[in-house]
Chains A and B, each alone.
Chain A
Amino acid sequence: MQLDSQERDDVLLKRSAKGDERAFTDLYRRHQAAIYRYALRMTGSSWAAEEIVQDVFMMLVREPKKYDPSRGTLGAFLYGVARNRIMKHLERTPRDFSLDESGEPGRETYPQLREQMTPGHWAELRERRDQVRSAVLELPPEFREAVVLCELEEMSYEEAARALECPVGTIRSRLHRGRALLLAKLEMLREVPKRANAGRG
């Protein structure tokens, strides 16, 4: 299945390089959402995420030969390009906490949940979600991308390692460290001694 997908990506990219707009559109629609989500979760800004998506695919339009099929899938290649753009963006704007998709007009997350929950529960959930979001965005980039890829994108360690072009062990250690930082930021660690004592009691 993956081989078929890979072949199709290759074929589409070749056709795209020859000027087949339909092939390019298919490629874009196949990969844009994943790249966009990755960029959104890393930058916390929908505007920046769109800019990054545009940059990534603009590269594919202008220099399609940069992709070497022997080095991996097109998806992994695009992730790599997106990652470079994201890191540049983060260097320019180290902190950006405007990740608020639900705040955009016409978009509402979980309308069915809202109907079932009381306003108090809803406010609590929203507050918690905002805290987690802020904690993720405050992580150093290398730990953040491990958390984003493995926990939010639900990639395997191997897939994340391919996307970030680093060993699996590095991903594991970054994820471990990122998780500890997240827990620390969310002040969950403060509760640990209490719970530990309660467990002993």
Chain B
Amino acid sequence: MTCEEFATAELDLGSSGIDAQLEIAAREHLRECPHCAALHENWLSLREDLRVLAVETAEAEASPRIEMRLRQEFRTKHKTVRTHRAALVLGWGLAAAAAVVLGIGWADWYFHKGPSVAKQTQTNPAPNPAGIHNASPVPQANAPAQSESNDVIVASNNYGEFTPLPDSIPTAPEDATVVRVQMQRGALSALGLTVNEEHAADLIQVDLLVGDDGVPQAIRLPQTSTSVSN
């Protein structure tokens, strides 16, 4: 074995990984070559020093504050993730709830109010005894008779049989007062209603739904007014 070969084999000398024959040859070279023997002795000495150094730091470990800091980071990270997840779930939950409410609302409107309004708009409007032309879908004063004859379900609203006046601000019916007045049909125009000029001078009786502020909000033509007008 040459000195170069020995230098390569020396790394494994003494370990279990070295080939038996190679070890025998290396040890023979050690006996024959004082230079390699001296080098090997130095290496063994250095190795012992390294072992001392290794043992010295064998029990070394990071201080507990590192663990504390990491655990804090861990908690922060996973708390944030949980918060994000909760927010996401809550968001989707709210969106789903809103969709359900909207769906129920639409279904309620469609199956209860919608068809009646639709049917009402489809039927021919009854002649208005007061000569009022109102585009509002709210039933007119004589609507009950009409609805009975045509088997139409009349949509109810907060005003009952009253017709809301244009630009009026609706209030709760229980806060309003019904006032029956006799007036010329032409005076209805002052309430924002369209009046047939041919019958403007007729005297009619009307029920006014007057709010807390004294301003009429809706109008109803009682059956008697029909007779008055007629």
Q: Are A199 and B38 in contact (CB under 8 A)?
A: yes
Chain B residues 40-89 with CB under 8 Å of chain A are: 41-43, 45-47, 49-54, 56-58, 60-63, 66-67, 69-71, 73-75, 77-78, 81-82
Determine the distance from Cα of A132 to Cα of B49 in the docked complex, in whole angstroms.
7
Contacts of A154 in B (CB 8 A): 54
Contacts of B95 in A (CB 8 A): none
Q: Are A57 and B70 in contact (CB under 8 A)?
A: yes
State whether the Cβ of A85 lies closer than 8 Å to any Cβ in chain B. no
* Pick from A19, A50, A176, A197: contact of B78, CB under 8 Å: A19
Interchain residue pairs with CB less than 8 A apart (13): A25-B71, A32-B62, A50-B63, A53-B66, A61-B74, A62-B77, A132-B49, A151-B47, A151-B50, A156-B17, A188-B46, A189-B42, A199-B34
Dominant SS at the B interface?
A: helix
Determine the distance from Cα of A14 to Cα of B192 in the docked complex, in whole angstroms.
75
State whether the Cβ of A192 lies closer than 8 Å to any Cβ in chain B. yes
Contacts of A189 in B (CB 8 A): 39, 42
State whether the Cβ of B228 lies closer than 8 Å to any Cβ in chain A. no
State whether the Cβ of B37 lies closer than 8 Å to any Cβ in chain A. yes
Q: Are A183 and B43 in contact (CB under 8 A)?
A: yes
Determine the distance from Cα of A160 to Cα of B63 in the docked complex, in whole angstroms.
26
| Interface band, chain B | 35 or more
Contacts of B74 in A (CB 8 A): 16, 21, 24, 61
Determine the distance from Cα of A36 to Cα of B53 in the docked complex, in whole angstroms.
15
**How far in angstroms is the closest Cβ of chain A from B31?**
10
Q: Are B56 and A101 in contact (CB under 8 A)?
A: yes
Q: Are A40 and B60 in contact (CB under 8 A)?
A: yes
Interface string of A11-55 (1 = CB under 8 A from B): 000001001010011001100110011001100001001100110
Highest count of chain A CB atoms <10 Å: which of B57, B77, B81: B57
**How far in angstroms is the closest Cβ of chain B from A191?**
7
Q: Are B7 and A176 in contact (CB under 8 A)?
A: yes
Contacts of B42 in A (CB 8 A): 183, 188-189, 191-192
**How far in angstroms is the closest Cβ of chain A from B86?**
13
Contacts of B52 in A (CB 8 A): 125, 129, 132
**How far in angstroms is the closest Cβ of chain B from A103?**
12
Q: Are A50 and B34 in contact (CB under 8 A)?
A: no
Contacts of A110 in B (CB 8 A): 56
**How far in angstroms is the closest Cβ of chain B from A37?**
5
Determine the distance from Cα of A182 to Cα of B48 in the docked complex, in whole angstroms.
13
Q: A125-B52, A172-B8 are in contact. List 20 more A-B contacts (CB 8 A).
A: A16-B74, A21-B74, A25-B67, A29-B67, A37-B58, A41-B53, A50-B62, A53-B62, A54-B66, A58-B73, A61-B77, A151-B50, A153-B54, A156-B17, A183-B39, A192-B35, A193-B35, A196-B38, A199-B34, A199-B37
